[in-house]
Amino acid sequence: MPKVAPLVSLETLRQLAAELEDEERCRSFVRNFICIWDERHARLCQAIQASDAKAAMDVVLSLKVSSAMAGAGRLSQLAANLQAMLLRLGEDIRTSCTLSLLEEITACGRATMAQLRLDYLEAKAERQRN
């Protein structure tokens, strides 16, 4: 059984900040990631409901890569699972399996955004005040 990634990896975010050589750029990326979650999620839901395989793949690839960069390993894993499922299904993507996985992505996405706010953005702001 594959290992389940944590909702948020602060180590991944530290690495991103180091690569960017700027902690504020990293925080800005995370803020933007959180801000576009609702839109990205809505586009994914709409694409799957409409059986638009191309649009669904576009969104799921974006979600997978950006989640990995933002330290959202579990969300990235789920997006990778959906990507693999979409590739297997071809054009008929609106199945009980994809809808079930979409529900997992929805719940994980909400929890991830909340944890990123709490453990990364708010924690960083609190440390800066002290």
- pLDDT class for 68, splitting at 50, 70, 90? very high
pLDDT, averaged across the chain: 94
> Is residue 128 one of the residues assigned to a domain?
no
Domain holding 47, by residue range, is: 10-123
Please give the model's pTM, rounded to 2 decimal places: 0.91
- pLDDT class for 125, splitting at 50, 70, 90? low
> Is residue 111 one of the residues assigned to a domain?
yes
Neighbours of 125 (CB within 10 A): 10
At 32-64, the pLDDT tens digits run 999 999 999 999 999 999 999 999 999 999 999
Opening angle at CA 129, ends 124 and 130, nearest 5: 100
> Is residue 20 one of the residues assigned to a domain?
yes
Count of domains in the chain?
1
> Is residue 130 one of the residues assigned to a domain?
no
